[in-house]
Amino acid sequence: MITGKNCIAGEFSANGEVEFKTINPKLNKENPTTFVEVTKEEIEKAVDAAWDAFKVYRSVPGKQRAAFLNAIADEIQALDQELIDTYTKESGLPEGRAIGERGRTMNQLRSFAKLVETEDWRSNTFDAAEPDRKPMPKEDLRKTMIPLGPVAVFGASNFPLAYSTAGGDTASALAAGCPVIVKSHPMHAGTSELVASAIVKAVEKTGMPKGVFSSINGGIQAGVDLVNHPKVKAVGFTGSITGGRALFDIAAKREEPIPVFAEMGSINPVIITPDAISKRGGEIAKTYAGSITLGTGQFCTNPGLLLTIKNDHTEGFIAELAKETIALDPQCMLHPNIKSGYEKKEADVTSQSGVEVVGKVDADLEPNYAASAVATVSGREFLANPKLHQEVFGPFSLVVQCKDDAELLQIIEGLEGQLTGTLIAEENDTINLIEVVDALQNRVGRIIYNGVPTGVEVCPSMQHGGPYPASTDSRFTAVGVHAINRWVRPVSYQSFPQSLLPEHLKG
């Protein structure tokens, strides 16, 4: 049962006076549950409990933390249809997407559980003492990774499960030994509360300290208060550049600055060579129409920018891409605010000089359903106008027609940091593919060859992050087991007696 309350160290509380409701975007009406925003005092209680829990939880053996993570996955599964129904009512996304995202969330938890069953993930190093070494003796040195402390996690609007309350940030932080305080996303507060209740049950069943997890409802001020709290030691965020940068700046101005691992905006450039267009333009158009509109374009890896070199086949390809894109049934967006944001950004881009709208859904749509669109512009106009470089969060893509290889490379090299870059090419392509790949790898975190960027596999080799503003620290990934490295720091022990060393450094 959803209460609308905040979950503070295992206890549900609602001391605030500000209330809100979530929206069913398909029906365009409010859902019935009233949620209560957290108070500053409740935030204080949650963080204090997390700090007290940290003193214990950081030393909990890996096998016990693994059991805790597996128990969370079990309890999420046990929520059964109530979770799926709440997800669809709050997001407008279909049941199949809800079931798939639930599976991904559980898989992430179990992946981190498997990782921390042993201490290998800490990358421990041992340098034995050499007391007789000349001219100076060498001390015994051992290095390991230790958790940072309580982590604030901000739920994402576009993934109510996989990037939210028990998503990748929470799973990786708990795996590392860090308590978590989640600020749930107001668009899916009911889904978040159900998942929070599952985590609370897992805490109780596995004997973890109660303060290891809290979840709060609230808006901007709650997030500011949480990040400013001196006992919060790191932040995980998935969302807009504006929101991520604001948190980054707040954290940097603290008396003790803390890291903010924010995954933000990306237009995910796709380079399609003329050879690829001439040989399989129709196939590429159909595939990319599906990718552009997948999930109503509400993925951080949505292909919002297609780059090619203008030739005799280009116009035909763009027309085919537009035809395939607008032929797909319009879909519901996550929230009225996201729908209005999409329309504003799409209009802003398509109203710029030299931009031609090649195809756009022209029909009476249900409220919160999005009209997908494809536009095109010359390489010269794109280079001259930074407004064309902005992300349009929704089912939209801009095709840039470059005059030659040099202009194509100039555009790639001038892009802001991106999560992904894709190369669609033929084996014996006439473009210098090495130059293109070299340019791409300096701008993106993941390069795809003859595929689509939508779809992020949860595995050790996945890099989900990129140069700013794709993320605030391109050295780390937000997806896959290596995401744990965001929440730890190295410590060396020099000349320590065995009795005082951590168990995983003894011997």
CB atoms within 10 A of CB 417: 19
* Among 411, 418, 461, 419, CA closest to 436: 411
State the DSSP string of 46-68: HHHHHHHHHHHHTTS-HHHHHHH
Clarify whether 263 is annotated catalytic. yes
Select from 416, 477, 407 the least CA-distant residue to 444: 416
Asked if 46 and 9 count as a contact pair (C-beta separation under 8 A), the reply is: yes
Task: With beta carbons less than 8 A apart as the criterion, state whether 335 and 394 touch.
Answer: no
Closest CA to 417 of 452, 446, 381: 446
Is residue 155 within 8 Å of residue 185, measured between CB atoms? yes
Q: Residue 459 gets which letter from DSSP?
A: S
CA 459/CA 461 separation, integer angstroms: 6
Q: Is 434 exposed, middle or buried (0-12, 13-18, 19+ CB in 10 A)?
A: exposed
Task: Compute the distance between CA of residue 279 and CA of residue 429 in angstroms, rounded to an integer.
Answer: 11
Secondary structure of 197-248 as H, E, C letters: HHHHHHHHHHCCCHHHEEEECCCHHHHHHHHHCCCCCEEEEECCHHHHHHHH
Please report the sign of the dihedral spanned by the C-alpha atoms of residue 27, residue 159, residue 450, residue 414.
positive
Q: Is 42 a catalytic residue?
A: no
Q: Write down the catalytic residue from 37, 42, 193, 263.
A: 263
Residue 138 structure tokens:
């060498």
360 DSSP β-pair partners: 373
Q: Which residue has the tokens 């060579």?
A: 273
What letters, b where the CB count within 10 A reaches 16 and e where it falls short, cover 397-409?
A: bbbbbbeeeebbb
State residue 354 phi and psi, 5-degree precision: 85, -5
Half-sphere exposure of 379 (CA within 13 A, CB side): 18
Burial 341-360 (b: 16+ CB within 10 A, else e): bbeebbeebbebeebeebbb
Contacts of 94 (CB under 8 A, 6+ apart): 88
Which one is catalytic: 7, 300, 332, 402?
A: 300
Phi and psi at residue 328, in whole multiples of 5°?
A: -75, 145
Q: Which residue has the tokens 């920018």?
A: 305
Residue carrying the six token digits 């933390």: 65
Residue 259 near residue 486, CB atoms below 8 Å? yes
Q: For 165, which DSSP code?
A: T
The catalytic residue positions are 263, 300
